[in-house]
Structure 1
Amino acid sequence: MNDLPTLDEVRGWPATVDVSRAAKAIGISRAQMYRLIATGEAPVRVLDFGSKRVVTASLVRLLEAA
């Protein structure tokens, strides 16, 4: 995928992002990310306020560790 955001771009994102955006950042599909969330296996912190939001700081940590 050539349209993956860079780590610097992700660092500039708001405090939380939607699941689609987070999935794109780690190179998986939106559907796969929702499956990981549903099974409790998401590699990032997810908040649920009626709609799921991924905590950007946890996404940055994951990408930094890769």
Structure 2
Amino acid sequence: MKKSSQPTLADVRKWPATVSVAEAARAIGCSRSHLYERVKCGESPVKTIPVGTRHVVITADLVRLLSGEAREAA
């Protein structure tokens, strides 16, 4: 099984407004299960939106993280 390559910041900027936790984890460079656990604990490095029983990641926040921009205070 061929492992897909990690997307570049330019690639991520072209993604739709929200993406799956699995896609976001691939962009960040961590496992899907690790990012899901961080979301579950409320410690995700990116903003997520609950959709039924799952979550989606806001692409703009993923871009912010990958570009090294500071996160706004809640």
TM beyond 0.5: yes
Unaligned runs of at least 5 residues, structure 1:
none
Q: Name the TM-score, length of structure 2 as normaliser.
A: 0.84
2:20 and 2:61 mapped to 1: Cα distance?
13
For residues 22 and 51 of structure 2, the distance between their equivalents in structure 1, rounded to whole angstroms, comes to 16
Alignment RMSD:
1.7
Aligned partner (choices 33, 36, 46) of residue 35 of structure 2: 33
- Aligned residue pairs total 66
Larger relative helix fraction: 1
Q: Distance in 2 between matches of 1:39 and 1:52?
A: 13
Q: Secondary structure at the match of 1:61?
A: helix
Q: Tell me: higher relative CO, structure 1 or 2? Use CA pairs within 8 A at least 6 residues apart.
A: 1
- Aligned counterparts of 1:10 and 1:2: Cα–Cα separation in 2: 14
